[in-house]
Amino acid sequence: MKYLSPKAIIRLVSTATRWVIAAALLAILGTGCAKEEKVSQPEAELATTPDSTSQWKLELARVGDRSITAGQLRAFYGKIPNYLQSDSEGLEKERNHLQTLIDMELLQLEAKEQGIDRLPAFIYKMAQYRKEKLVGLYQIKKIKVRVSGQEVSDYFREQELARKVRFAKLITTSEDSAWSALREITSGRDFGEVAEQWSIHEPTMEQGGDTGRYAGKLDMPPYLRTPLFALEKGEVSQPIDIGGHFALFKALDSIETGLDAEQFQNIYRQLFIERSVEARAALTDSLKEALKLERDQRGLDAFSAAIHRGATSRDEEVRAIVLYRYEGGTITAGDVLDAASQLKYKTLDLHSKEAVIKYAEGTLAPDALFVEAALREGLDREEEVMQWLVRKREQELVVQLRVQVLKERVSISAEDIRREYAENPDRYMQPDQIEIQEILVATEAEAKDLLERLQRGASMDDLARQHSKRSPELRDEEGRWSFTVAAAAVYGRLVAAARKAPVGQLTGPLQVREGYSIFKVLSREQQRASFADAKKRVRATVNWIKKQQVFEQFLAELRTKYAAQVEIREDNLKRVLTSG
């Protein structure tokens, strides 16, 4: 029998987690402009079928003292995406999905037997889930933000968002290159010609940098809005750092537009978020006063001293240091250390007392105060919250069980990595390797003269040896050299043209940033990466494969171990299929 893969089970758990978080976020941000979500067909049937006669109450399987009903199977089936569904049909498909639900119950049994719920990682995650839920609910209850259509229209007018500009852009690899390109433009050379020669942005460089569309302020990142929308038609910006590269922009044209539906939504969202942030700050200030939040300066000094002498997050004495007190609780050094370890996109400099205070008072304190206020209002006792935490508990038990099993059972040897590389050569290919023979000269006139000579039968080897100014470090004496498609960041138009030119056909003259190029493609092929270059990718592949194999074996063991506790009601499964 083919079951949903173990990977699918874990992805479903993770996906379910993301669904819950996403739903909470939407609730926090408000639903003023949100479209009404459609209920899936199985869920709609469940909602409208009378309980007294519903077939969805039929028990399809029992695992220990837990029952799996037709309704649960249909709800599960309705939520999983097509790519995770069984590719069988009819009754076999129903069995496969039912087996997945049984496997998830077996994982719950094993997690409890192994004491996963007593692990520090599990306890910490559940505390985080509870905090996130209560913080979210309290904000929903207390923060009421409204944005009217008139306010959106006023903002559109006041911020001069009616103007849309069509830009051309030229992107280079360095600031020096951008300034060199700008000097050519200011000396009278056409922006489009310079973009074709200097820009590394393939989608626009062959159109002289023209983006081909009109953009408004809200279509641009905030750091580009001021410099770009200050440009009048025909003006060119100075070099702008766009994150690792530098760009020049030219305003080609501008139009005035009305407030359309997309702009309305964007402005509404921006105003709503801004007001939500302001309201959250005001709510935090009121709770700081009501719950008497106080900074413990001695604790902060002690924590700072401990960090500077090399204390770690495992030092229980340091973790217990109290940094803030409020009615109902404290914020400790342990809270700061745990939060710092979970930050994904930025780091918290624990050696800076000012940074710690800013983070604690801007993030940890508001959350702690919201939780305390939520507890005082009894939000933790609401049925919806308790059921949500039960679901989160079940999901996290499976996640932590899988982590533990894989940690104990998966090991990768040097021989495993070598075998994967040897047996699967097609998995570890380099990007397209292009070999060309080229003559590079300074002027278009020189290039045209050489092209005519080549067309009359002159030797390209001889002409390249005599005339090409391409660096000898890159090419051989006859002008042959190779590059990958990744070299487009450096050689721009030459790489783009070489990718398209037929092998063996003379091409040019092509204006490039170094001059004018005449070339022919000698070969275009993919080569296998060396073991040294591919080793990290090979190891990652072996790791992924072993994890799938180990977890499949683990599930097989659980099916055997708990076989006596599993009962499948085949008769009810058939009834559901034939009636539904």
**521-578 pLDDT tens trace:** 999 888 888 999 999 999 999 999 999 999 999 999 999 999 999 999 999 988 887 7
What's the mean pLDDT in 124-141? 96
Q: Measured between alpha carbons, how far is residue 393 from residues 126, 224, 262, 399, 417 in Å?
A: 7, 45, 40, 10, 37
- Please check whether the two domains, 163-257 and 430-525, share a CATH topology: yes
pLDDT > 70? residue 403: yes
Question: What DSSP element (H or E) covers 525?
Answer: strand 515-525
What's the CA gap between 124 and 241, in Å, rounded? Answer: 41
346: its two tokens: 């930025």
Confidence band, pLDDT 50/70/90 cuts, at residue 57: confident
What pLDDT is stored for residue 263 in this prediction? 86
**Mean pLDDT score of the chain:** 87
Q: Minimal CA–CA distance to 302: which of 338, 336, 339, 353?
A: 353
Contact 306, 323 (CB under 8 A): no
196: its two tokens: 């074709």
What's the CA gap between 481 and 269, in Å, rounded? Answer: 52
- Tell me the pairing of strands 480-484 and 433-441: antiparallel
pLDDT > 50? residue 94: yes
Name residue 168's beta-bridge partners: 210, 250
Q: HEC string of 352-404? A: CHHHHHHHHHHHHHHHHHHHHHHHHCCHHHCHHHHHHHHHHHHHHHHHHHHHH
What pLDDT is stored for residue 538 in this prediction? 96
Contact 250, 199 (CB under 8 A): no
pLDDT tens-digit profile of 42-56? 333 333 343 434 678
What is the longest distance spanned by two Cα atoms in the chain? Answer: 94
pLDDT > 60? residue 144: yes
What pLDDT is stored for residue 35 in this prediction? 34
Confidence band, pLDDT 50/70/90 cuts, at residue 517: very high
What pLDDT is stored for residue 42 in this prediction? 39
Q: Is 490 helix (H, G, I), strand (E, B) or coil?
A: helix
The two counts, helices (H) then strands (E), for the chain are 24, 14
Q: What is the domain partition of the chain in residue ranges?
A: 163-257, 291-377, 430-525
Rounded percentage of the chain residues whose pLDDT exceeds 70: 90
Confidence band, pLDDT 50/70/90 cuts, at residue 490: confident
Question: What DSSP element (H or E) covers 323?
Answer: strand 322-326
What's the mean pLDDT in 452-480? 93
Query: Any idea what the Cα angle at residue 494 is, between residues 490 and 499, rounded to 5°?
Result: 110
Q: Is 17 helix (H, G, I), strand (E, B) or coil?
A: helix
Phi, psi (degrees; rounded to nearest 5) at 246: -125, 145
Q: HEC string of 449-485? A: HHHHHHHCCCCHHHHHHHHCCCCCCCCCCCCEEEEEH
The helix, strand and coil proportions of the chain, stated in percent and rounded to the nearest 5, come to: 60, 15, 25
What pLDDT is stored for residue 345 in this prediction? 66
What is the C-alpha end-to-end distance of the chain, expressed in Å? 23
Rounded percentage of the chain residues whose pLDDT exceeds 90: 68
Q: Minimal CA–CA distance to 210: which of 189, 222, 193?
A: 193
What's the CA gap between 249 and 237, in Å, rounded? Answer: 5
Sheet hosting strand 515-525, strand order edge to edge: 480-484, 433-441, 515-525, 506-512
What pLDDT is stored for residue 43 in this prediction? 38
What pLDDT is stored for residue 16 in this prediction? 37
What's the mean pLDDT in 46-70? 74
What's the mean pLDDT in 59-75? 92
DSSP per residue, 198-234: H---HHHHTTTTEEEEEE-GGGS-HHHHHHHHTPPTT
What's the mean pLDDT in 255-284? 92
- For the domain spanning 430-525, the CATH number is 3.10.50.40
pTM: 0.70
Name residue 510's beta-bridge partners: 517
What's the mean pLDDT in 466-476? 91
Confidence band, pLDDT 50/70/90 cuts, at residue 15: very low
pLDDT tens-digit profile of 304-362? 999 999 999 899 999 999 999 999 999 999 999 999 998 876 789 999 999 999 999 99
What's the CA gap between 218 and 519, in Å, rounded? Answer: 44
pLDDT tens-digit profile of 242-253? 988 999 999 999
pLDDT > 60? residue 89: yes
Fold annotation for 163-257? Chitinase A; domain 3 (3.10.50)
pLDDT tens-digit profile of 186-224? 999 999 999 988 888 888 887 889 999 999 888 888 899
What pLDDT is stored for residue 2 in this prediction? 38
Sheet hosting strand 566-568, strand order edge to edge: 66-69, 59-63, 566-568
132: its two tokens: 């996130």
pLDDT > 60? residue 18: no
pLDDT > 90? residue 90: no
Q: Measured between alpha carbons, how far is residue 397 from residues 104, 385, 393 in Å?
A: 10, 18, 6
| Burial (CB count <10 Å: 0-12, 13-18, 19+), residue 68 | buried
pLDDT > 70? residue 175: yes
pLDDT > 90? residue 285: yes
What pLDDT is stored for residue 24 in this prediction? 34
Q: Measured between alpha carbons, how far is residue 268 from residues 161, 215, 262, 274 in Å?
A: 13, 18, 10, 10
What pLDDT is stored for residue 579 in this prediction? 65
What's the CA gap between 492 and 483, in Å, rounded? Answer: 12
What's the CA gap between 308 and 29, in Å, rounded? Answer: 40
What's the mean pLDDT in 501-505? 94
Contact 467, 439 (CB under 8 A): yes
- Which residues lie below 8 Å from residue 538, measured CB to CB, with a gap of 6+? 417, 420, 421, 428, 531
